[in-house]
Amino acid sequence: MPTYQILIDGTWAEAVSGKHFDVFDPATGDVLARVPDAGPEDVDRAVAAARRAFEGGWRDATAQERGRVLFRLAEAVRREAPRLAELETRNSGKPIVESEFDIADVATCFEYYGGLATKLHGEVLPVPDNAISMALKEPLGVAGQIIPWNYPLLMAAWKLAPAICAGCAMVIKPAEQTPLTLLELGRLFEECGLPRGVVNVVTGFGETAGAPLVAHPGVDKIAFTGSVEVGKAVMRSAADTLKKVGLELGGKSPNIFFADADFEAAVDGALFGVFINQGEVCSAGSRVLVQRPIYKKMLEAMVAKAKTIKLGNGLDRTTKMGPLVSKEQLARVLRYQEVGKGEAKVAVGGSRASGAGLDRGWFVEPTIFYDVDNQARIAREEIFGPVMSVIPFDDEAEALRLANDTPYGLAAAVWSRDVFRCFRMVKRLQAGIVWVNHMQPTYVEAPWGGYKMSGIGRELGPWGAEEYMQIKQVHINLNEQPIGWY
Ligand code: NAI
Ligand code: MG
What phi, psi does 383 have (nearest 5°)? Answer: -95, -40
Reduced to 3 states, what is the DSSP secondary structure of residue 285?
Answer: coil
Please name which of 455, 450, 417, 454 lies closest in space to residue 434, comparing C-alpha atoms.
450
The burial of 315, by beta-carbon neighbours within 10 Å (0-12 exposed, 13-18 middle, 19 or more buried), is given as middle
63 Cα: distance to centroid of ligand 2 (angstroms): 37
> Residue 98 has what pLDDT?
98
pLDDT of res. 144: 99
Name the residue of 151, 201, 227 whose CB sits within 8 Å of the most ligand 1 atoms, as the mutation to test its pocket: 227
Helix, strand or coil, per DSSP, at residue 214: helix
Sheet of 469-477: strands edge to edge? 123-125, 131-139, 469-477
pLDDT string in tens for the chain (486-residue length)? 899 999 999 999 999 999 999 999 999 999 999 999 999 999 999 999 999 999 999 999 999 999 999 999 999 999 999 999 999 999 999 999 999 999 999 999 999 999 999 999 999 999 999 999 999 999 999 999 999 999 999 999 999 999 999 999 999 999 999 999 999 999 999 999 999 999 999 999 999 999 999 999 999 999 999 999 999 999 999 999 999 999 999 899 999 999 999 999 999 999 999 999 999 999 999 999 999 999 999 999 999 999 999 999 999 999 999 999 999 999 999 999 999 999 999 999 999 999 999 999 999 999 999 999 999 999 999 999 999 999 999 999 999 999 999 999 999 999 999 999 999 999 999 999 999 999 999 999 999 999 999 999 999 999 999 999 999 999 999 999 999 999
How would you class 267 by CB atoms within 10 Å of its CB: exposed for 0-12, middle for 13-18, buried for 19 or more?
buried
Ligand 1, pocket residues at CB < 6 Å: 146-148, 150, 173, 175-176, 205-207, 210-211, 214, 225-227, 230, 233-234, 248-250, 282, 332, 382, 384
CA angle 76, 64, 58 (to 5 degrees): 85
Alpha helices in 240-360 (DSSP H): 263-275, 292-306, 327-343
- Which pLDDT tens digit goes with each residue over 272-326? 999 999 999 999 999 999 999 999 999 999 999 999 999 999 999 999 999 999 9
Q: Which ligand is nearest to the CA of 326?
A: 1
C-alpha angle 442/247/118, rounded to 5°?
60
pLDDT, tens digit, 9 for 90 and up, residues 148-174: 999 999 999 999 999 999 999 999 999
